[in-house]
């Protein structure tokens, strides 16, 4: 028997799976830190509560693995609702997972993932999806997930020479530094203004046939205004049906300062699209950044091009999906064209 960090590594110690309970909060936080370290994603109670408890789509189903009274594994699916036209589809995103280092290699991750997948399937959830990295994607594919493809990424270079130089020196993927300052209101202040909330709620009902997130005022408030430990900014232009909103976040990767266009909220009128194009142009200038990055999401590629953005193929995360319950007449979630995604939909959190 070997003792390591207080856990007995005994081959015949049974591992049991059970739903997480509130009393597991400290154990879960400790398990995640032991397995994953601190990293970019906060390991705080406030962030966990934002993500898994006050999510407007519903509380997350969470399973833990326990051995001899100690938590040794974790698997959480984050609820999300996707819309096509006036139909809603309840889905889950495979997010937090952890196995204590002393218990790795015993199939805990797979057992937890498959068990939680069966649980949400029995609830009637339509599909489970995520954007695993190159190291973890093979494991999901072996469990039946399908790689749907990469979302459309568009960029607006502001300093092409600096971008090219950083790319040639291999610095663009370097250590993150202090993000640039933004000359725009914080999302927390701007998105709560009554006129901005009205734009969001009027634009949210716009009909779209592909899977998309309805960007209601309630959703935008949760996603960008009250999220702990992340700082977003928002711009708006116009009113009512002609109004548009852009939500952005700055980031520094090595030598490169980025602006990420997380969401574009725009109605179906020509005035709304013109205002969205204007905001997208402005967004590239509100910080001392080298490049602006966006996904079309709720705005078409022609409008992105008018704002000075160019499509970049074969970059970005790979969307993977496992269908759970088929819905008659619904788009096929395994087809890339069935999705209209924004950066805010797919950010890792």
> 26-72, pLDDT tens digit by residue?
999 999 988 887 766 778 899 999 999 999 999 999 999 999 999 99
CA distance 291 to 261: 11
Average pLDDT over residues 147-169: 80
Pinpoint the alpha helices (H) of the chain: 25-36, 45-52, 108-123, 137-142, 160-169, 187-190, 194-204, 217-220, 270-283, 301-306, 343-346
Q: What is the mean pLDDT of the chain?
A: 89
Question: Rounded to 5 degrees, what angle do the CA atoms 185, 190, 192 make?
Answer: 155
- 240 by Cβ neighbours in 10 Å (0-12 / 13-18 / 19+) ranks as middle
Q: Quickly state the pLDDT bin for 327 (edges 50, 70, 90).
A: confident
| Structural domains of the chain, with CATH | 2-149 (3.40.630.30), 153-315 (3.40.630)
pTM beyond 0.85: the answer is yes
pLDDT reading at 99 higher than 90: yes
Look at 164-173, 175-184, 211-220, 266-275 and tell me which has the smallest mean pLDDT: 164-173
pLDDT at 7: 45
- Kindly report, residue by residue over 104-141, the tens digit of the pLDDT: 999 999 999 999 999 999 999 999 999 999 999 999 99
Residue 2: pLDDT over 70: no
Average pLDDT of span 290-303? 90
pLDDT above 80 for 302: yes
């Amino acid at each position: 028997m070997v003792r390591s960090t207080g856990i007995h590594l005994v081959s015949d110690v049974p591992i049991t799976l059970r739903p997480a309970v509130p009393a597991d909060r400290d154990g879960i936080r400790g398990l995640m830190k032991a397995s994953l370290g601190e990293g970019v994603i906060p390991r705080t109670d406030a962030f966990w509560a934002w993500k898994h408890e006050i999510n407007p789509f519903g509380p997350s189903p969470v399973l833990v693995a326990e051995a001899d009274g100690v938590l040794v594994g974790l698997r959480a699916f984050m609820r999300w609702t996707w819309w096509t036209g006036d139909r809603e589809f309840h889905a889950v995103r495979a997010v937090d997972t952890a196995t204590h280092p002393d218990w790795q290699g015993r199939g805990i991750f797979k057992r937890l993932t498959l068990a939680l997948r069966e649980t949400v399937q029995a609830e009637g959830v339509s599909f489970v999806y995520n954007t695993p990295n190159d190291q973890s994607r093979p494991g999901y594919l072996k469990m039946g997930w399908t790689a749907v493809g990469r979302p459309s990424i568009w960029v607006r270079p502001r300093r092409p020479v600096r971008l090219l130089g950083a790319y040639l020196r291999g610095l663009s993927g370097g250590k993150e530094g202090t993000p640039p300052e933004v000359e725009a209101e914080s999302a927390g202040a701007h998105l709560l203004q009554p006129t901005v909330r009205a734009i969001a709620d009027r634009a949210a009902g716009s009909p779209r046939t592909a899977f998309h997130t309805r960007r209601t005022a309630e959703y935008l408030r949760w996603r960008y205004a009250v999220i702990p430990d992340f700082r977003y900014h928002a711009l708006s232009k116009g009113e009512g049906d002609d109004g548009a909103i852009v939500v952005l976040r700055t980031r520094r990767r090595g030598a490169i300062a980025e602006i990420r266009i997380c969401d574009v909220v725009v109605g179906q009128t020509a005035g709304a699209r013109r205002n969205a194009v204007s905001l997208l142009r402005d967004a590239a200038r509100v910080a001392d950044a080298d490049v602006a990055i966006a996904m079309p999401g709720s705005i078409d590629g022609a409008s992105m091009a008018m704002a000075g953005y160019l499509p970049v193929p074969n970059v970005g995360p790979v969307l993977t999906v496992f269908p759970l319950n088929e819905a008659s007449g619904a788009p096929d979630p395994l087809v890339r064209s069935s999705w209209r995604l924004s950066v805010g939909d797919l950010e890792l959190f």
